[in-house]
Amino acid sequence: MASRYDRAITVFSPDGHLFQVEYAQEAVKKGSTAVGIRGTDIVVLGVEKKSVAKLQDERTVRKICALDDHVCMAFAGLTADARVVINRARVECQSYKLTVEDPVTVEYITRFIATLKQKYTQSNGRRPFGISALIVGFDDDGIPRLYQTDPSGTYHAWKANAIGRSAKTVREFLEKNYTDDAIANDSEAIKLAIRALLEVVQSGGKNIELAIIRRNQSLKMFSAREIELQVTEIEKEKEEAEKKKSKKTT
Amino acid sequence: MRRAGAPLSGRDGGGDTMAAATFFGEVVKAPCRAGTEDQEEEEEGRRETAEDREVRRQLARKREVRLFRRQTKTSLEVSLLEKYPCSKFIIAIGNNAVAFLSSFVMNSGVWEEVGCAKLWNEWCRTTDKTHLSPAEAFCVFYHLKSSPSVFGSCARKNMQVTLLTCRHVTDYKTSESISSLHSPFLKALKTQNFKEPPCCSLLEQPNIVHDLPAAVLSYCQVWKIPAVLYLCYTDMMKLDLITVEAFKPILSSRSLKGLVKNIPQSTDILKKLLTTNEIQSNIYT
């Protein structure tokens, strides 16, 4: 039945599915994992870096992009679609600032991106965007925000979420480990993001990219060295926890 | 009396007449003005000429599956199973299943290549019979040098077949919610003569097996050969570490026991295989 209703985007199937939108969500699962965490004074975005070909310039393969000084996003899915969405979002951020003389709120720009994606699920001849995005930032009121959008054009606020390949595993890890203690301070929130990614990333810290935004500060990308330091700390803590466990049992 | 109502679709027999419903609901045959000339033309087209027969013969010859040795490029005259009769026949179909076999099974012991088969049909782009390119369908047969009883004893007696393959998880039909599925996961399907308990749960209805694994299983069922298919449902059809590792429960089964020796080394070999075979694709990030 699916094959008769999945060719044209504007056709509903008899049981109410928009198959092209659901297939677009499969395309998202082909992108590498991205995780977002909302702390009390910090928002963290971590992504699994795709391995770069030998002759490829690493700087051009970026999954985390700034939309404005106080908002940034990570995506999973079709690279080219992401580029188009990011460009439109960046233009909208500046246009809003020029018109209203205030920077965009995270919710506004998320709504803009979601509306854009929804338009492509309703016009004929155009396929949906094959990306999901995690948008983080601080509003003027100083409250940290994390939103997620998907190809159907819906958006929701989250405390922590993951998108892309193995997103389910990471989300389950976050559901277990996102506690008030875990986000008590900035470094704990960063460690939580890295630990969540280490669950699914294939070669450890080398393949992780991390970005944070602190209140009233702009986006900071972690260098490979800084990530390695965090990973070694996490591994040390794990070892100590295991030693304690084995002491308790003996 | 006027004939009203929508004409029903109608091609009956050779003639072209349309059926029409009258005002009172009776179905009458309305003669079609297109006539019956089409009938004669069709019959002529159906008659085969000698040329058609020759083309058909050539196609059949091209489609024949021949076994050959890759190194010497000579074809094998004798059927493989007669030359190397076997008690355990393991087939891996698809890149993830093949990667699993190559890293976990074929790295323990010395496996010698005994033959290779390549398929051709009208959709193939080349007719090169001996050169194997990764884009084409082909099959390489190996046998274990140190223990010739694997791939060694009477064919069809005491032979056990194990099949490994992958399928995309969107093909899996279940009444449970899709979000509760943890892919990749393993399902098994076995023939009646396979008495061992399988290493994972059996494939539920209405799911079916397709293509080559289905053909092999059907053959084994008909000829009463014990066979089991391990089907991995995954959301990554290209070569992927997590999918290949989903086959690991099979290592404890009787068919593969004794063939697998060094598991940590196999995992390293698998990782190396993945990095060398990674196709650089920038479509998805």
Count CB-CB contacts under 10 A for residue A181: 10
Residue A91 confidence (pLDDT): 97
Between CA A160 and CA B57 the distance in angstroms is 65
Q: Percentage helix, strand, coil, to 5, in chain B?
A: 30, 20, 50
Task: Give the domains, in start order, of chain A with CATH numbers.
Answer: 19-243 (3.60.20.10)
| pLDDT, average across residues A70-80 | 95
CB of B237 closer than 8 Å to CB of B176: no
| pLDDT, average across residues B124-146 | 59
Residue B71 confidence (pLDDT): 65
Is it the case that residue B262 has pLDDT exceeding 90? no
Residue B148 confidence (pLDDT): 45
Is it the case that residue A59 has pLDDT exceeding 90? no
Give the model's confidence band at B30: pLDDT under 50 very low, under 70 low, under 90 confident, else very high: confident
Identity of the residue in A56, A63, A168 whose CB atom sits nearest the CB atom of B285: A63
Between CA A69 and CA A4 the distance in angstroms is 46
Is it the case that residue B1 has pLDDT exceeding 60? no
CB of B234 closer than 8 Å to CB of B183: yes
Q: At A237, which amino acid appears?
A: E
Is it the case that residue B157 has pLDDT exceeding 50? yes
Residues in chain A within 8 Å Cβ distance of B283: 78-80
- Are the Cβ atoms of A50 and B285 closer than 8 angstroms? yes
| pLDDT, average across residues A165-188 | 91
Is it the case that residue B154 has pLDDT exceeding 50? no
**Mean pLDDT across chain A, nearest whole number?**
90
Residue A171 confidence (pLDDT): 93
Residues in chain B within 8 Å Cβ distance of A34: none
Residue to substitute from A1, A25, A50, interface B, most B β-carbons within 10 A:
A50
| pLDDT, average across residues A224-241 | 91
Task: Give B235→chain A minimum CA distance, Å.
Answer: 8
| pLDDT, average across residues A23-41 | 92
Q: What is the pLDDT of residues A184-222, one digit of tens each?
A: 899 999 999 999 999 888 777 888 999 999 998 989 999
Give the model's confidence band at A33: pLDDT under 50 very low, under 70 low, under 90 confident, else very high: very high
The question of ipTM being above 0.85 is answered as no
CB of B139 closer than 8 Å to CB of B130: no
Is it the case that residue B163 has pLDDT exceeding 70? yes
Residue B105 confidence (pLDDT): 76
Between CA A177 and CA A45 the distance in angstroms is 16
Residue B36 confidence (pLDDT): 59
b/e burial code for range B47-71 (CB count within 10 A of at least 16 → b): eeeeeeeeeeeeeeeeeeeebbeee
Is it the case that residue A135 has pLDDT exceeding 70? yes
Residue B225 confidence (pLDDT): 87
Task: Give A53→chain B minimum CA distance, Å.
Answer: 7
Coil vs helix vs strand at B122:
coil
CB of A160 closer than 8 Å to CB of A25: no
Q: What is the pLDDT of residues B196-242, one digit of tens each?
A: 888 888 998 889 998 888 988 998 899 888 899 999 998 877 777 78
Residue A178 confidence (pLDDT): 94
Residue A52 confidence (pLDDT): 76
Give the model's confidence band at B272: pLDDT under 50 very low, under 70 low, under 90 confident, else very high: confident
Query: Which tops the pLDDT comparison, B248 or A144?
Result: A144
Give the model's confidence band at A104: pLDDT under 50 very low, under 70 low, under 90 confident, else very high: very high
Residue B132 confidence (pLDDT): 55
Residue to substitute from A6, A28, A29, interface B, most B β-carbons within 10 A:
A29
Is it the case that residue B122 has pLDDT exceeding 80? no
Count CB-CB contacts under 10 A for residue B40: 10
The rounded percent of chain B whose pLDDT value lies above 70 is: 56
Residue A172 confidence (pLDDT): 92
Q: What is the pLDDT of residues B53-105, one digit of tens each?
A: 888 888 888 777 666 666 666 666 556 555 665 677 788 888 888 888 888 77
Query: Which tops the pLDDT comparison, A91 or B133?
Result: A91
- Are the Cβ atoms of B285 and A76 closer than 8 angstroms? yes
Which residues of chain A are at the B interface, by a Cβ-Cβ cutoff of 8 Å? Answer: 26-27, 29-32, 50-51, 53, 56, 61, 63, 75-80, 82, 165-166, 168, 202
Give the best-scoring range by mean pLDDT among A232-236, B160-164, B194-198.
A232-236
Between CA A2 and CA A16 the distance in angstroms is 11
Task: Give A76→chain B minimum CA distance, Å.
Answer: 6
Is it the case that residue B129 has pLDDT exceeding 80? no
Residue B35 confidence (pLDDT): 63
Identity of the residue in B170, B179, B282 whose CB atom sits nearest the CB atom of A26: B170
Quick one: which H or E segment has residue B211? helix B211-222
Comparing A7-16, A117-126, B2-11, the range with the smallest average pLDDT is B2-11
| pLDDT, average across residues B155-167 | 77
Name residue, tokens 């790295």. Answer: B107
**Mean pLDDT across chain B, nearest whole number?**
72
Task: Give B29→chain A minimum CA distance, Å.
Answer: 33
Is it the case that residue B155 has pLDDT exceeding 50? no
Is it the case that residue B48 has pLDDT exceeding 90? no
Is it the case that residue B15 has pLDDT exceeding 50? no
Residue A89 confidence (pLDDT): 97
